[in-house]
Structure 1
């Protein structure tokens, strides 16, 4: 399924995505909730990157159209993260006790690079960011 986003509000927003190998596929229907960058040490260690780009969607609008991810409790009893058991791509996060929202890594969406609704509006856990990230921002500002 290709991504379809209602530009004029006349229909539901539907986005598709999946893992690198294509085994895990999904669609999410509904509005984007809290697109943000998380710089916490936990996201960094799990992903191998200094931050991750998360987007929330209504859980009721999630449909696994391929295999469902393998789930791992990164915070036992609190948060589980979904990934492809074949290629290892990180896909989603869900909090126990909250069946209203699913967190999707924006880069798991098929058209994340052209969907303006996914632009991050928040930086979470900035105090935990790698110190060189802020230094790099300061150097770029000084060079401009």
Structure 2
């Protein structure tokens, strides 16, 4: 499903899904706190030095793929659950227990994330926990694209 601007940025329907396309979703509503998290937990879980998150109203989330909904794992028991595709392992979402208003979506799980200006990170969370070489790497010379 293509992204559709129904009636302004707060009602834009954004679509996304896992690497294989088994788990698909749409989110509608205002973008909340697009940020990069550099905490040890996000790094270890994702295999990357940081993750790019954004919040959306939980009421605006709809699972649409053949797998319906991701498999939810308590990564912080009793506090936070993460949604992953049970087939390909893609990280897709997070929800905090006790907060039924917002769902966290990994920005890179959204289709067209690279051209949606509303998703530009506005915060760097947990900077003190970042890999010490990250700032140096960001300002270093350009490296040819890898095909890993």
Q: Give ranges in structure 2 of 5+ residues lacking alignment.
A: 142-148
| Aligned residues between the structures | 139
Partner of 2:77: 76
Q: What is the TM-score with the length of structure 2 in the denominator?
A: 0.89
CA distance in 1, matches of 2:111, 2:133: 30
Distance of 2:99 and 2:128 partners within structure 1: 26
Whether contact under 8 Å (2:54, 2:119) holds in the other structure is yes
TM-score, normalising length from structure 1? Answer: 0.91
DSSP 3-state at the match of 1:136: helix
- The answer for unaligned runs of 5 or more in structure 1 is none
CA distance in 2, matches of 1:68, 1:138: 39
Q: Classify the secondary structure of the residue corresponding to 1:131.
A: coil
CA separation of 1:30 and 1:40: change in aligned 2, threshold 3 A: same
CA RMSD of aligned residues (A): 1.6
Deviation above 2 Å: which 4+ runs of structure 1? Answer: 8-11, 134-140
Q: Residues of 1 paired with 2:53 and 2:12: CA distance?
A: 17
The alignment partner of 1:113 has SS state of: helix
Displacement of 1:134 in angstroms is 2.2
